[in-house]
Amino acid sequence: MKGIEQDVAELEAELAEEVGELEEKFDVNSPRFDTESIKSYKKDIDVKSVSLVWLPYDQDDKPVW
């Protein structure tokens, strides 16, 4: 029985270590973004509509929306 309990404890420790590494690698609070520039051609641009958005602010520069 002690051999099985020891194996389970070792596996749990290994799992906790791997989970910690994954949490560090894929931290939701600090995402990494790769930037890639794509050159567009005039033939690929087709403007179908133009919109204007207005978001009101009060006199203290706080959003009213």
Where are the domains positioned within the chain?
Answer: 1-31
Is residue 45 predicted with pLDDT exceeding 80? Answer: yes
CA distance 9 to 15: 10
Phi-psi region of 16 (alpha: psi -120 to 50; beta: other; left: phi over 0): alpha
* Nearest-5° Cα angle at 30, 29 to 34: 140
pLDDT of residue 19: 93
pLDDT interval class at 12 (50, 70, 90): very high
Is residue 38 predicted with pLDDT exceeding 80? Answer: yes
| Average pLDDT score, the chain | 87
What's the whole-number mean pLDDT along residues 10-28? 90
Total-model pTM? 0.42
Is residue 43 predicted with pLDDT exceeding 90? Answer: no
CA distance 28 to 20: 13
